Structure 1
Amino acid sequence: MGLFKKMFFHKGKKNKQKKQVSKKQEQLGQSKNVPKGDIEKSLATNIDVIKETTGNSSDIIVRVIKMGREADITAAIIYTEGLVDDLTVKDFLIESAMKDTNEQNLENPNLALQVLKEKILPIGEVKELDCWEDLFTNLMTGQTIILVDGVSKALTANTRGGEKRQISESVTEISIRGPKDSFTETIRTNSALIRKRIKNPNLWLESMKIGKVTQTDVAIMYIKGIVNEKVVEEVRIRLKRINIDSILETGYIEQLIEDKTFTPFPTLFHTERPDVAAANLLEGRVAILVDGTPHVLLAPAVFIQFFQAVDDYYGRFDLSSALRFLRVLIFFISLVGPAIYIAATTFHQEMIPTPLVIALAAQRESVPFPAFVEAMIMEVTFEIIREAGVRLPRAIGQTVSFVGAIVLGQSAVQAGFVSPAMVIVVSITGIASFATPAYSIAISARLIRFIIMVMAATFGFYGCLMGILVMVIHLCSLRSFGMPYMTPLAPSIPANFGDTLVRKPIWKFKERPRLISQSNITRAGEHQRPQPPDHSHSQNENEKGEKNDS
């Protein structure tokens, strides 16, 4: 009896484990209806398997044709409508297979498949397949499948095409002087845009597929000889470790490969500008391209990188340095603006000039809330208006944001909920958060701002300082693919200070960032500073010549 119970329990445990494994496979997208094994010889059987697997989907086109001089060999051309270039399929595949084979003496189906591959099909990339998994993978990515009756193999031809968005100007990263093209949702278009700027055979591209269900094309791009090979290997390891059913955007990749998850700061840089991606590749970074999104990830990333605008490198260094320093100052204002106002009016009134204290006290006489509650009301209201403006259609959203901010601010002051000074502080803080070039770092400031406001309401200026110190310590502890996040400030690398808070002249960019590129850090030769000719010397020689002639 005990043995029976033991066997029954063991069997039940095994069945439970099998169910858990099966359930896990389904969660990972390992669909049971995808056939395994090799392709059958019977064309009718193969067509039935494809139709059954795809659920007789109307966009899976199956065209049966006759080939050979005697039209005695049957073949099928199968493709997914909308993912292929219709002109290529009709003119170069179907027409070639039907007409050009009429002159061929195809003795058997195997010979027919070989003739199609080597002599008939003018497509550049034609491969042989012998298993169902490869067939469906190619079919669902825009390839055209050719099956011949009596052959247990298939041909796949690269006919990718279909509707895609044209290259247009970047919406989120505006440049006054730089190029106007931006990445699209097609991975091959994006890699081509980078190659147009870096015409070098050492620009390498490695492709892979991630996502059990979506089978998303992902590629890493780097410049061999400049990039740090350890970083490339780390990127490969982290990407291959991803085991998920779908990858729909670079945000999925970013969250699955970042060094630290519990941080408000982004540890990967993303851009939709090809010139920005090319410039970072030339510094030794690795680009991660994902099909279906116009954003490209760049690793490793550093904190100061999020304050660099593309126009900084297209204009004069003195103006660019002033603007970059202004951006860092703006980020600091957006971080601690309301907190300083709360601390000053609540704990440290003696630090405010007397006329200003009297004016603030007169404004706050009718306000029933303390400064902290007043600031929280205005900040939350401002965030609601901003989120509504982003989510609504563009024409309506801009109107709602502009009118809503004016109406609510004026109404709140007249109703006595907030003081005019608080409206000014919150408005300056909100505008400052818009001036940060990178949207991802601006969101971080918006989140940390509330924490520092709580610290200021509790401890005054000491709370503000404590919050900033904790944030700096946290920033110094972050890593991006093993590289310190605060490089080159911490650890300090004086040779790379010329591209941090200020930007040195282009003719002084002699070395790449040391911790990013360690194999080839030289990027400019000596004596690159402009040296115009000495006109005074040539003028003296001309005057001497005129005297001699006279």
Structure 2
Amino acid sequence: MRQSIFTKLKQQEGKETEKQLGTNSVEAKVKSALSDKVSDNLNTLKKAIGDPEDLNLRYITIGKFQKKCGIAYLSGITDTNMINQEIIQTLQQNLQEVDGSPLENIKLEMIAVSSVTELDDMKKIIDFVLDGQTVFFLEEEEQALIIGTAGGDKRAIENPQSENLIQGPREGFVESLEVNLALVRRNIRDPSLRFKTYEVGTRSKQKLVLCYVEDVINPKILEEVIYRLESIELEYITDVSQIEQWIEDSSLSPFPQMLSTERPDKVAFEVLHGRFAIFVDGTPFTALGPVVLSDINKSMEDYNQRWITASLLRILRVIASLIALFLPGIYIAMVLFHPGMLPTTLVFSIAASREGMPFSAIAEILLMAATFEMLQEAAIRLPRIIGQTIGIVGGIVIGEAAVSAGIASPIIVIITALTAIASFCSPYYSVAISFRAVRFGIMLVSAFLGLFGLILAFLVLVIHVTNLKSFGVPYSFTVLPTVKHELMDNIIRGPITKVEEQYIFLQNQLKKSK
């Protein structure tokens, strides 16, 4: 991908800083070669990472001639029970004299851990220790053993917090990358399932995993996502959404070009249908791509319900999306510019409710919309019990108080509440946020240009969605499907026997040639 001007300036600034002050990286402080002295290697390791409180150094003597060795690990991110029982206790019990290469003998016969590798580079050893592994040094040896002991406390698997289902699996991803990958592996027992690992974060060095099914995903889509992932230059990743923002096609679009999920069954379903998933260590959310417009109103529960019920729910979500985007704008345009297009009774009712109001219609609806937005944000940030109370009681009290005080008319409160409810009918929070942002723009255009402005805003949205792409796939691909079977899983969800395995753009080129 193209490097941004900000990135280039940052690199130049970093180079100038290094020339003036010298680099602080581990690579510049530490020599790659190991010493044949255990104490020297442990001291080098301790100095390189700043002698933290959670660094544990342990000296042990093994063998008939009391051969000296040492281990180092960081508590909290390692499995201390494994270290005590499978490493320290095993080494102390094996007191026989070793034959041949002592380090090779210890690796093969004494350490009862499945993952053990030899390494002679101190810089790489430091990275492994920071990743939760244990390093083993032996006197008179210029190599070390890296023992797979990554672990520590992990959050238990529980229901997904952001995606509730009435019928479906109750497992959700957690912050541990290993656990998340295991959950996907449990759902997809296919030898073609691939996990491609990357290291992201110049300082945090977090693991990122690209998940896909090799003989299902389109090779062009796979090539594109790999190219973009390899271009990531971030110091620290807090959530997979930062990866989404880095690799998305258009950063100026309000609509998400990847979708986040906490559900292993959702990831398994999409990956088996030609999409890819991106996991980041330390977050329970997984990014899915590519995305098309019809995906924003789909839920995994649709496939667990009968097709008629699922289709009605999807149609309801489409209607709710249109209400969330255009209802306030339509009201503003009709009241301010085109009251003659409304039924006479409705015009008189609106005029009566607005009698004596100190503000214009646009000022009223903007005020109430901003108030409801603040209530929604407060409900999210506060503790769950208090947040629910604020969201429900606050909305009722403020709406009633505004009407009683003559600040807002009752119809404005109804429109604002209906719009807020409709915006959260989408299964994805990122889509709901996008609708909320676009809605304010449509309201302002309608306030200045009336119905003409509303139509103009609609055309701009259509043009934008038509030109928008997600990893080279047109965002509007399924709006007007070119093949009949694509209708079976679009706005409606056809019978399970009629739903095609994949959309055409997701099909592997090898399958298309058959």
TM-fit CA distance, 1:324: 0.2
Query: 2-side partners of 1:24 and 1:210: how far apart?
Result: 25
SS at match of 1:196: helix
Q: CA deviation at 1:301?
A: 1.2
Give the drift of 1:357. Answer: 1.1
Structure index of larger Rg: 1
Pairs aligned (count): 501
Q: 2:97 aligns with which of 104, 125, 134?
A: 104
Deviations 1:402-458 (A, max 9, x none): 121111111111111110111111010011112111111111110010110011111
Equivalent-residue separation in structure 2 for 1:449 and 1:68 (angstroms): 74
AA of the residue aligned to 2:198: M
Say whether the 8 Å CA contact 2:356–2:406 is kept in structure 1.
Answer: yes
Structure 1 residue aligned with 2:16: 19
Give structure 1 stretches of 5+ with no counterpart.
1-14, 523-550
Q: Distance in 2 between matches of 1:517 and 1:211?
A: 33
Q: Which amino acid aligns with 2:461?
A: M
CA distance in 2, matches of 1:502, 1:510: 13
- The answer on whether the counterparts of 2:98 and 2:105 sit within 8 Å (CA) in structure 1 is no
* 1:183-214: CA deviation from partner (whole Å, max 9, x where unpaired): 11111111111111111111111112111111
**Residues 355-390 of structure 1: per-residue CA shift (max 9 Å, x gap):** 121111111111021111111000011101111111
**2:371 is matched with which residue?**
381
How far off its partner does 1:510 sit?
Answer: 3.7
Task: Give the counterpart letter for 1:105 in structure 2.
Answer: V
> Structure 1 residues 225 and 426 mapped into 2: Cα distance closer, same or farther (>3 Å)?
same
Per the TM alignment, residue 19 of structure 1 is displaced from its structure 2 partner at its CA by 2.6
User: Given that residues 241 and 287 in structure 2 are in contact (C-alpha distance below 8 angstroms), is that contact kept between their aligned partners in structure 1?
Assistant: no
Q: Distance between the aligned counterparts of 1:370 and 1:440, measured in 2?
A: 32
Structure 1 residues 263 and 510: alpha-carbon distance in aligned structure 2, compared to 1, 3 A threshold: closer
CA deviation digits over 1:114-147, x for unaligned, max 9? 1111111121111111111110111011111000
1:87 maps to amino acid: N
In the superposition, relative to structure 1, how do residues 403 and 205 fare at CA in structure 2: closer, same or farther (>3 Å)? same
1:459 aligns with 2:449: yes
- 1:370–1:17 CA distance, 2 compared to 1 (3 A): closer
**Aligned with 1:319: secondary structure?**
helix
Matched, 1:75 2:75: no
Equivalent position to 1:54, from 31, 41, 49? 49
In the alignment, structure 1 residue 113 sits paired with structure 2 residue 103: yes
Q: CA deviation at 1:25?
A: 9.1
1:160 to 123, 127, 150: 150
1:421 aligns with 2:415: no
Residue aligned with 2:147, SS: strand
| Separation (CA, whole Å) in 1 of partners of 2:14 and 2:283 | 38
Partner of 2:80: 86
Contact 2:240 2:283 in 1 (8 A): yes
Tell me the C-alpha RMSD between the 2 structures: 1.9
Aligned to 1:66, the other structure's residue is in SS state strand
Contact 1:339 / 1:453 at 8 angstroms: preserved in 2?
Answer: yes
The yes-or-no answer on 1:65 pairing with 2:60 is yes
Q: Residue 339 of structure 2 aligns to which amino acid in structure 1?
A: Q
* 1:39 matches 2:29: no
State the AA in 1 paired with 2:240: T
Distance 1:295 1:211 in 2: 18
Q: TM-score, normalised by structure 1?
A: 0.88
Could you state the TM-score of these two structures normalised by the residue count of structure 2? 0.94
Q: Does structure 2 conserve the Cα–Cα contact (< 8 Å) formed by 1:39 and 1:130?
A: yes
Once residues 19 and 281 of structure 2 are traced to their aligned partners in structure 1, the CA distance between those partners, rounded to angstroms, is 29
Between the aligned partners of 1:304 and 1:520, the Cα distance in structure 2 is 26
Map 1:74-473 to 2 at 5 A: 74-100=68-94, 102-106=95-99, 111-473=101-463
Check 1:521–1:277 CA distance in 2 against 1; reply closer, same or farther (3 A cut).
farther
Quick one: which amino acid aligns to residue 81 of structure 1? S
Change in 2 beyond 3 A, CA 1:16/1:514? closer
Give percent identity, aligned residues only.
Answer: 36
Q: Distance in 2 between matches of 1:239 and 1:309?
A: 27
CA contact (8 A) 1:514 1:521 kept: no
- Secondary structure of residue in 1 paired with 2:270: helix
What per-residue deviation string (whole Å, max 9, x for no partner) do you get for residues 2-37 of structure 1? xxxxxxxxxxxxx999635548996xx845664132
Distance 1:216 1:16 in 2: 24
Kindly provide the amino acid, as one letter, of the partner of residue 163 in structure 2: E
Aligned residues of 2:275 and 2:289 also touching (Cα < 8 A): yes
Give the direction of change, closer, same or farther, for the CA distance of 1:496–1:156 in structure 2 (3 Å limit): same
Q: 1:97 to 1:22 in 2, by over 3 A?
A: farther
User: Retained in 2: the 8 A contact 1:433–1:442?
Assistant: yes
